[in-house]
Structure 1
Amino acid sequence: MDHLILAPAARRNAVLELMRSSQRFLTLSMFRCDDLSVIDEVAAAVKRNVRVRVLITQRARGWKQRLKELGALLESTGAIVHRYDGPLMKYHAKYVIADNGRALVSSLNFTRKCFESTCDFMVFSEDPAVVSGLNIIFDNDYGQPASPLPELTDRLIVGPDHARQRITHLLAGAKASIRIIDHRVIDPAMVSLLLEKQKEGVLVQVVGQGPMGGLISHGRMILVDNDVAALGSIHLSPPSLDSRREVAIVVRDRENVNELNDFFDSLAADGSNLMSLSSETHVHTDDDEDEDEDEIYSTVGA
């Protein structure tokens, strides 16, 4: 029911194929986009009489003018574009819905860099609960954003509504291992919880900055007990947990979880990119400095 994509070479075509599959409706939540093939597919969808709606943020570091240009370009294709104007700091969620039948939840942006060079995660799902949940989020945020959101499937973790609560519960339930890919593990409460789990004998590993198999650190993953994973836009940082619209998807099927575990093993093989947790990791930066985001990538060696 879910299809996981990790390899950069497969990302662009996977997104474009999802967009091409739409016959009636195409819904996109964008944070950044500079890949013209995505714009071309929006235009192509409009030409085949697909109703295309796009929700974009109004805040992205270094992108003030480019976001205006992106909105205008999308509108020129005939897409219906809404610039998020709700109470949250940023609209940072990355998801796509085609015909209410298949959806993508991702950590990447629709940029050339994310399509080619970053460590990122894409989950394509046909789970009706996931698809309907994403539609609820989009419809809520597209109009006059209401808070809180109505109840959604437990397969979606949504910030700021319940991201902190859900991720805390996920980590607290670990019995054997916690494996995280995230270069912004700086939230004091989350770091304290990870240290507590270490003291309980749980293996805690965090791949942050450092060698990433030739990729650039960007995407976020949490893998607990090699049993359940959460993938998406959420960092373990205060702004991401508490102040932004973020979306992650929970993955439990054995094939995908095993693939994520193997991927983590490949990144952490030499240990040099494993983050050392301590009470001194409690760093709280303000929102403008806490940018995953997505212009300020952590550049690393091969």
Structure 2
Amino acid sequence: MGSGEQIGQGMDRLVLAPAARRDAVLELLRSARQTITLSMFRCDDFTILDEVAAAVQRGVHVRILITQRARGWKKKLQELTLLLRSFGADVQPYQSSVMKYHAKYIVADDGPALVTSLNFTRKCFESTRDFLVFSEDPDVVNGLKMLFEHDCHTPTAPLSGITNRLIVAPDQARRRLTERLRYAQTSIGILDHRVTDPEILALLREKQSNGVPVKVIGDVRIDGLVAHGRMILIDGVTAIIGSIHLSPPSLDARREVALVIDQAPLVARLYDYFQTMAGNEANIMNLWPSGLPEEDQEDEEDE
């Protein structure tokens, strides 16, 4: 893969290469003329912070919804919030006492929008396996704006009216992802280093026993990249990318967002990307009990 490879057709555009990630996010921020809507978990990349400040200076209304909980980041999050406010950004810490905030997306004006698995950190821009999908789809753009307003004002209220292209945890992620996996006919490919949910694992074993090839790539370093991004491929025709892990905390107790992709060129590229790693059996997780990780109820340090 070339360092700057981007795949796009129709309303969505995919960025995979680490060398292209930072510039793609910066380009999105620079494109905004009126508003930036930014959902943030972690950020320590000064080029991103500088671009947020530059947007405010040119008159863009920058709104940021930020987590209050990230392991090892209590002081950093407080400092980050103060810094962003000093730029003139409208920063609101996520107020739910029940759910951890872990969604990662940006909307510039009325589009495009970015849904991603990465944090806006130096680590994720340089050394992780991650995914960025930029979308011009009005349903996606409006859905993210609706979700942002919901989480700013009524974070504990039921969520409704969101496009089916967005899968949102905890409201409907478990149900919708289970349905997608259950109805897979020809193949399931998963890139996720925290596949620990007992119900999901039982379903994957059932599909495998019924003759559907199931491959899960877990916590392995490949080509020097650390496991971080999450992707689900169904039958080679649908991809799901975002912040959601197939783990109990992620499915049931966090605000998470993933995007459903069915544009053939993008799915084909993701399928090829997955297959280059799945071809090495050492990268494939054993789904049966002796090979499984312990049930996951804790957060990892940098997710």
TM-score range relative to shorter protein = over 0.9
Give the match for residue 8 of structure 2.
none
CA distance, structure 2, for counterparts of residue 209 and residue 150 of structure 1: 34
CA distance, structure 2, for counterparts of residue 46 and residue 211 of structure 1: 38
CA distance, structure 2, for counterparts of residue 135 and residue 142 of structure 1: 11
SS of alignment partner, residue 150 of structure 1: coil
Per-residue CA distance 1:172-222 (angstroms, 9 max, x = gap) = 010010000001000000000000000110000000122422100000000
| 1:283 CA displacement | 3.2
- Please say if 1:284 is aligned against 2:295: yes
Q: Are 1:107 and 1:232, in contact at CA under 8 Å, matched by a contact in 2?
A: yes
What pairs with 1:118-197 in structure 2 (closer than 5 Å)?
118-197=128-207
Amino acid of the residue matched to residue 294 of structure 2?
V
Per-residue CA distance 1:4-27 (angstroms, 9 max, x = gap) = 011000000000000000000001
| 1:282 CA displacement | 7.1
CA distance, structure 1, for counterparts of residue 192 and residue 302 of structure 2: 12
Residue of structure 2 aligned with 1:51, choices 52, 58, 61: 61
Amino acid of the residue matched to residue 104 of structure 2?
K
Residue of structure 2 aligned with 1:17, choices 12, 23, 27: 27
- Please say if 1:107 is aligned against 2:117: yes
Residue of structure 2 aligned with 1:68, choices 78, 102, 124: 78
Give the match for residue 252 of structure 1.
262
Identity %: 58
CA distance, structure 2, for counterparts of residue 276 and residue 284 of structure 1: 15
Residue of structure 2 aligned with 1:3, choices 10, 13, 18: 13
Residue of structure 2 aligned with 1:85, choices 79, 95, 102: 95
Q: Are 2:72 and 2:301, in contact at CA under 8 Å, matched by a contact in 1?
A: no
TM-score, structure 1 as length reference: 0.94
Q: Are 1:184 and 1:292, in contact at CA under 8 Å, matched by a contact in 2?
A: no
CA distance, structure 1, for counterparts of residue 86 and residue 113 of structure 2: 25
Q: CA RMSD in A?
A: 1.2
| 1:248 CA displacement | 0.1
Amino acid of the residue matched to residue 248 of structure 2?
P
Q: Are 1:211 and 1:272, in contact at CA under 8 Å, matched by a contact in 2?
A: no
Amino acid of the residue matched to residue 192 of structure 1?
A
CA distance, structure 1, for counterparts of residue 293 and residue 226 of structure 2: 24
> For structure 1, which segment, 270-279 or 230-239, has the greater mean C-alpha deviation from structure 2 after superposition?
270-279
| 1:254 CA displacement | 0.4
| 1:292 CA displacement | 6.5
| 1:88 CA displacement | 3.5
CA distance, structure 1, for counterparts of residue 213 and residue 87 of structure 2: 50
- Please say if 1:28 is aligned against 2:38: yes
CA distance, structure 2, for counterparts of residue 7 and residue 136 of structure 1: 30
CA distance, structure 1, for counterparts of residue 154 and residue 218 of structure 2: 37
> For structure 1, which segment, 219-228 or 136-145, has the greater mean C-alpha deviation from structure 2 after superposition?
136-145
TM-score, structure 2 as length reference: 0.94
Q: Are 2:182 and 2:207, in contact at CA under 8 Å, matched by a contact in 1?
A: yes
SS of alignment partner, residue 100 of structure 2: coil
Instruction: Mark the runs of 5 or more structure 1 residues left unpaired by the alignment.
Output: 295-302
Q: Are 1:31 and 1:60, in contact at CA under 8 Å, matched by a contact in 2?
A: yes
CA distance, structure 2, for counterparts of residue 147 and residue 67 of structure 1: 25
Give the match for residue 264 of structure 1.
274
